[in-house]
Each structure stands twice: as C-alpha cells, then as structure tokens.
C-alpha cells in the first residue's frame, strides 16, 4: 500500500469523523467527497483502503445505531425516525433495519420496552450469563484486582497461598 500524504490522511480522518458523528445525519458521499476536494471514486477507494470498510458502511452503521437509540427512547414514531435519519420511505428504512438488527423497528421497540418495564431482578435473569458474572465480579471487589471470590467455580480451586493452620 502506498504511503499517503499527510493532507490526504487528515481529510480522510475528517470524513470518517463526519460520518461517525451521531449528532446529525451523515451527508451524502458525493457531497462529502466534493467538500474534501476529491472525486467520489477516489474518495471511496482511499477511504476503503485506510479504514477497511466503505464510507457507505460507516454511514449505514451510524444511522442504524441512531435508529436503535431513537426507537428505544420511544419518543417518535417509526416514520418520524425514518425521515429524521434521511430515508425516503418507511419501507426502505424497515427493510434495512431488519437486515442490520434482525427484526423490524416496531418489534425492536416492543422488545426493548417489554424488558425495560421489568424489575431489576428479572432484567438480570434475562441478560446473558457472562454479563451476570462480570457484574458480580466487579461489584464484589474490595479495591484490589483479585476476582477469585466472585466466581464460585474459581473459588473452589486451591489457593496459591499456603494455609497457616496446616503448616
């Protein structure tokens, strides 16, 4: 891979930052390339070479992340969210959301709100087991890095330190 001039790296980093910014909808790729004084094809080729994914993929991932946040907040309808994110129709938005999240926007919202209304004990049961272990490990620490007591399976293992009563 050829070495990129510093000015090009700075422009590509600025483009990645603009596409990843969650505070506003991402601009069109052609507009972004034009603002960075590059042709669309050159911009797409260089962006993929530097970041390993296309600018469209970065833009789509950010849009879907924002869609999940908006659906979880429950303040707006699916159609409003679709239009705020720059999609032309709710059908297109729903199809793309289903492809990325594995379920429709309305199912995602229902599932999120169903879990959100449950008590903390029930939510803890529904979360993955690895997260329960991590929560137990970090909540039971007493300011040091030993985590043995937090995991029952590990606590039964022989201790590295000799027992003073047996010695």
Q: How many domains does the chain have?
A: 2
102, 129: one domain: no
26, 106: one domain: yes
Average pLDDT of the residues in 28-39: 89
Average pLDDT of the residues in 21-42: 85
Q: Confidence class of residue 139 from pLDDT cuts 50, 70 and 90?
A: low
Average pLDDT of the residues in 42-65: 90
Q: Say which residue, 152 or 39, is predicted with more confidence.
A: 39
Residue 97 lies in a domain: yes
CA-wise closest residue to 97 among 74, 118, 70, 116: 70
Answer whether 71's CB lies under 8 Å from 81's CB.
yes
Q: Confidence class of residue 120 from pLDDT cuts 50, 70 and 90?
A: low
pLDDT per position as a tens digit, 17-30: 988 886 777 788 89
107, 134: one domain: no
Q: Which domain holds residue 44?
A: 6-115
110, 34: one domain: yes
Q: How far apart are CA 65 and CA 114, in angstroms?
A: 20
75, 130: one domain: no
111, 124: one domain: no
pLDDT surpasses 50 at 157: no
23, 95: one domain: yes
Q: How far apart are CA 58 and CA 69, in angstroms?
A: 17
pLDDT per position as a tens digit, 74-86: 778 899 998 888 8
3-state secondary structure of 17: helix
CA-CA distances (angstroms) from residue 147 to 18, 66, 106, 138, 162? 41, 36, 41, 8, 18
Q: Say what the pTM is.
A: 0.60
The CATH number that applies at residue 31 is 1.10.10.60
């Amino acid at each position: 891979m050829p070495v990129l001039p510093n000015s090009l790296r700075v422009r590509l980093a600025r483009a990645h930052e603009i596409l990843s910014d969650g505070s506003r909808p991402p601009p069109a790729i052609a507009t972004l390339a034009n603002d960075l004084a590059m042709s669309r094809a050159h911009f797409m080729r260089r962006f993929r070479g530097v970041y390993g994914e296309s600018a469209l993929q970065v833009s789509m991932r950010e849009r879907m992340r924002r869609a999940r946040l908006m659906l979880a907040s429950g303040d707006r309808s699916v159609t409003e969210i679709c239009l705020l994110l720059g999609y032309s129709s709710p059908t297109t938005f729903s199809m793309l959301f289903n492809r990325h999240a594995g379920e429709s926007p309305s199912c995602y919202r229902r599932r999120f709100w169903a879990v959100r209304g449950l008590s903390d004990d029930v939510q803890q049961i529904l979360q993955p087991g690895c997260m329960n272990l991590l929560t137990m490990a970090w909540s039971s620490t007493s300011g040091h890095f030993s985590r043995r007591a937090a995991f029952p399976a590990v606590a039964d293992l022989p201790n590295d330190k000799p027992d003073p009563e047996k010695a």
